[in-house]
Amino acid sequence: MIIGKGMMAHAFQKYQSDSSVLIFASGVSDSRENRESAFRREQDLLENALSEYSGSVFVYFSTCSVYDPSMEESHYVRHKLRMEELIRQNHKQFYIFRLPQVVGATGSPTFVNFLFNRISSSESFDVWENATRNLIDSEDVAKIAGYFIDNRLRMNETINIASSCSHPVSVFVEVIEKLLGKKAVCNKISCGNAYFIDTDSIRSVTEHLGISFDEGYNERIIRKYYIK
């Protein structure tokens, strides 16, 4: 079963008719969100789902932004941590998957959508020189998470599903410049934070699935969804 209709819901379609698993893919996904009504809506929906589907394996998507020092006091991160705890306290079988910047077919205001739109339209934007980001294909998220779910591995744990390498924002700007064949109109600002995402818990699974986060990974997934 799936609650939601966006990018993550689409990636996990194989569970649509599986009553033993509930994919909760209808949460707040924009890290810039600060409307209490949006957070309240997710919490209400989550509490109802936990009650209605108490016998299912509950799958929730949280965020790797919890490791970013600059985000620890944000409404978004505090909300996601509250939702994680709500699940831990109220469900017997669950997976909490913390995700970085997921790349897929979506019109939502994602990190890559922002960069691609600004560069392709020659609009000016700021690049935080010290900030890092971590990209992963939505289909790879579904493969990795699906392996844990289908084999009931490490149930009731919080697992980071991310690329093994984070990169400065400027690296992603350069990739999109290369793919579009045009220079970005950007201002480099000396601010932002680099932070570590531990992916040891998924290493054996990615190796088993043949998913490689090599130096060409970012370009491949951006080309896949943005270059027609």
- Who wins on pLDDT, 180 or 34? 180
Average pLDDT over residues 184-212: 95
Q: What's the alpha-carbon Rg for the chain, to the nearest Å?
A: 18
**Residues 84, 143: Cα–Cα separation, whole Å:** 22
Average pLDDT over residues 154-175: 96
Structural domain of residue 9, as residue ranges? 2-226
How many domains would you assign to the chain?
1
Average pLDDT over residues 92-120: 94
Average pLDDT over residues 59-87: 94
Give pLDDT tens digits for 117-143.
Answer: 999 999 999 999 899 999 999 999 999
Q: How far is CA 12 from CA 23, 50, 177, 224, in A?
A: 8, 19, 31, 18
The tokens describing 80, both together, are 């996601």
- Who wins on pLDDT, 33 or 65? 65
- Per the document, the length of the chain is 228
**Residues 185, 87: Cα–Cα separation, whole Å:** 43
Give the per-residue pLDDT at 213.
96
Q: What CATH number does residue 40 fall under?
A: 3.40.50.720
What would the DSSP string read from start to end of 4-63?
--SHHHHHTGGGTT-TTEEEE--S---TT---HHHHHHHHHHHHHHHHHTTTSEEEEEEE
What is the pLDDT confidence band of residue 78, given thresholds at 50, 70 and 90? very high
Give the per-residue pLDDT at 24.
96
For residue 228, pLDDT beyond 80: no
Contact predicate 152/187, CB 8 Å: no
Give the per-residue pLDDT at 31.
73
Give the per-residue pLDDT at 38.
84
> What percentage of the chain carries pLDDT values higher than 70?
100
Q: What pTM did the predictor assign?
A: 0.95
